[in-house]
């Protein structure tokens, strides 16, 4: 998959074997919205208030999914450790759907190359990165 605003290519097939590098590791935020949380709650056949309480948190006026900490590692509350994949993949937030094409990686993708095995420099971009 390509987004020509970005200097890299993304092969989503790598997700099948990577074990969820983008869903686990350091503490962070999975930003979401009320509308997305309502869809997730409906998909899981849960009452929305209970779903919010169990899986969402407010951070500086925004909504994020909660994390779990296991052996010092932070994991999104929806990362299924045994299957090593997202348990709500079809209903995952926009932030997850748009990964790895995030603005913060547009100019500085080095961290991404270290963490995501699906990312590779676009051939037509080689030689133009300075
Ligand atoms: S919602 Fe799914 S894809 Fe997004 S961080 Fe959580 S486990 Fe990963």
- Model confidence pLDDT, tens digit, residues 22-61: 999 999 999 999 999 999 999 999 999 999 999 999 999 9
116 domain-assigned: yes
- pTM value is 0.87
Our answer on whether the CB atom of 76 is closer than 6 Å to any ligand 1 atom is yes
Question: Which run of H or of E encompasses 59?
Answer: strand 56-59
Question: Is 73 part of a structural domain of the chain?
Answer: yes
**How many domains is the chain partitioned into structurally?**
1
Alpha-carbon radius of gyration of the chain: 16
Best residue among 16, 23, 85 to mutate for probing ligand 1, ranked by most atoms within 8 Å of CB? 23
Residue 31's pLDDT is what? 97
Residue 6 lies inside a defined structural domain of this protein: no
Q: What is the residue range of 75's domain?
A: 13-120
Is 1 inside a domain boundary?
no
The answer to whether residue 125 sits within a structural domain is no
Separation of alpha carbons 35 and 24, rounded Å: 24
Cβ neighbours of residue 74 closer than 8 Å, sequence gap 6 or more: 24, 25, 26, 27, 28, 67, 68
Residue 1: Cβ within 10 Å count: 9
């Amino acid at each position: 998959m390509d987004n020509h605003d970005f200097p890299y290519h993304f092969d989503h097939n790598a997700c099948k074997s990577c074990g969820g590098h983008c869903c686990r590791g350091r503490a962070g935020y999975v930003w979401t919205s009320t509308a997305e949380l309502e869809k997730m709650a409906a998909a899981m056949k849960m009452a929305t208030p209970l779903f919010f309480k169990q899986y969402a948190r407010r951070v500086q006026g925004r909504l994020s999914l909660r994390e779990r900490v296991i052996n010092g590692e932070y994991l999104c509350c929806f990362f299924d450790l045994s299957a090593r994949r997202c348990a709500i993949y079809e209903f995952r937030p926009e932030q997850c759907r748009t990964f790895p094409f995030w603005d913060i990686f547009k100019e500085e993708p080095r961290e991404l190359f270290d963490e995501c095995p699906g990312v590779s420099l676009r051939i037509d971009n080689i030689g133009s990165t300075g």
